[in-house]
Amino acid sequence: MSDQTGIAWIGAHSTMDRDSSLPGMRGGISLTCARGIDQDEFLINLGADLDELAERTPYRDLAAPMGGRPTRTDYAMYGTCGEWVYVLEDWGMSTWSTGFHEVESMWPGPGEEIICVTMNWWSPPRVTLHVPGDERVLRAEFGADTGEGSALDAALREAGALIGPRPDSAAAEAEYEERRELLPTAVFTAVGAYCGLTVDQAAVEAGDLPAVLIPMV
């Protein structure tokens, strides 16, 4: 069922493997969104090719030519919602999270706000990164906040995404693990609420959104 009011669905499917039967994405999606920067400029900063970007080719036509199964995992879908540009990747991590500290073009400029939720399949833990507009990169592992007392931290708390340290008692362990399983949905719910971000699940699963090749860093 398509979620027309947010991005909680991304978190709900975040621990699933990529589904090669789909022409688009569903499981294991990492999200990077930014505001205060033009959509194409942000994508070029990530490594997108200017000519490919100009074509606005749907993901399904790039990742799965001739309607077959997806053959490439390094294509990213993108779009805009309100003030935000968002990038979706399902290769296990977010390109921005792996590259901002090494690639100069990815470093946020003054006034640019970036939020990144990366699954970090190859290098746990899963984290949320937040650049609040002042070029600082704040970090929150799933289950915690950034410690800044920000509006994003408040959204994480409201969504039930803060669970504290692992308990010592066996009785509390089961409840803790249950809450941990719900963390991806809670984190994406919080980010969606903070940004006012909606990403159409049906369009993503169908591969209808435009896509570009973003080289892995």
| Percent residues over pLDDT 90 in the chain | 76
Q: Which pLDDT score is estimated for 17?
A: 84
Report yes or no on 3 lying in a domain. Answer: no
In angstroms, the CA 99 to CA 41 distance is 16
- Give the pLDDT band (50/70/90) at residue 111: very high
The reported pTM is 0.92
E-assigned strand segments in 55-108: 75-81, 84-89
Q: Is the pLDDT of residue 71 over 70?
A: no
> Is 1 inside a domain boundary?
no
Closest CA to 195 of 1, 5, 30: 5
Is 50 within a domain? yes
Overall average pLDDT of the 45-68 stretch: 86
Residue from 42, 62, 39 nearest 52 by CA: 62
User: Sign of the CA dihedral 192, 196, 199, 200?
Assistant: positive
Report if residue 103 sits inside a domain. yes
With bands split at pLDDT 50, 70 and 90, how would you rate the model's confidence at 58? very high
Position 212 pLDDT exceeds 90: yes
Structure-model confidence comparison of residues 167 and 177, the more confident one = 177
> Pseudo-torsion of CA 6, 24, 27, 88, nearest 10°?
-60
Q: What is the pLDDT of residues 133-142, one digit of tens each?
A: 999 999 999 9
Question: How many structural domains does the chain have?
Answer: 1
Q: Look up the domain containing 50 and give its range.
A: 8-213
- Determine, yes or no, domain membership for 203: yes
Burial of 74 (0-12, 13-18, 19+ CB in 10 A): middle
- Residue 169 falls inside a structural domain: yes
- Residues 20 and 56: their CA atoms lie apart, in Å, by 22
